[in-house]
Amino acid sequence: MGNLIRTQMYFPEDMLMELKSKAKQDHTTVSDIVRKAIKELFRGDKVEEWDKDPLWDMVGKSRSDEGDLSIHHDQYLYGEKK
């Protein structure tokens, strides 16, 4: 496992108590349980293959003479505010 970075998470009290109990029972830490759960959650996801998603082929394909599309996109899509 690479370098670990400290973060802060919030759990409902009952969930935290269950996590601590499970960690003690399994002779491990709450952090390790959370890391394993997240790894299992992402198992099968191919995050590293996002660049192969056909949606990425659309990036950069369109052009506009308007220089403020990212700011005023609602105005261009829906017209003037009422």
Nearest one of 48, 46, 50, 18 to 33, comparing CA atoms: 18
When the pLDDT of each residue in the chain is averaged and rounded to a whole number, the result is 83
pLDDT on residue 32: 94
DSSP structure string for 46-59: -GGGGGGSGGGGGT
- Global pTM value: 0.51
18 three-class SS? helix
Ranges of beta strands (E only) in the chain are: none
The backbone region for 60, taken as left when phi is positive above 0, alpha when psi lies in -120 to 50, beta otherwise, is left
